[in-house]
Amino acid sequence: MIFEKIRDCIMSRTNLSESVVTMQASLRDDLGLDSFDLAELGIELEDVFAVTIPDEDLIAFHTVSDIVTFMKNSTK
């Protein structure tokens, strides 16, 4: 469920297909997100999951899996 919400947020910001947005996908290398895209994605994820993502955590996200792990730990 968490992965699917994150995948949908990423897909809504990009023209990427569902098959490209995997747990192992690199946000920068595979999905082509730059720092501005990541900042906007962070804001959207904060709204969707009703959490706060500190800047130091946001810049530490390298893969979709990193975001999923953060959200699992933040929404307990």
State the CATH number of the domain containing residue 28.
Answer: 1.10.1200.10
Number of domains in the chain: 1
Which entry of 34, 47, 57, 66 is annotated as an active-site residue? 34
- Mean pLDDT value across residues 16-37: 96
34-71 pLDDT per residue, tens: 999 999 999 999 999 999 999 999 999 999 999 999 99
Q: How far is Cα 74 from Cα 68, in angstroms, rounded to an integer?
A: 10
pLDDT for the residue numbered 76: 63
Domain containing residue 18? 2-74
Neighbours of 52 (CB within 10 A): 9
For residue 63, the SS3 value is: strand
Q: How far is Cα 48 from Cα 16, in angstroms, rounded to an integer?
A: 20
47 a catalytic residue: no
The two structure tokens encoding residue 62: 């390298």
The two structure tokens encoding residue 44: 């959207």
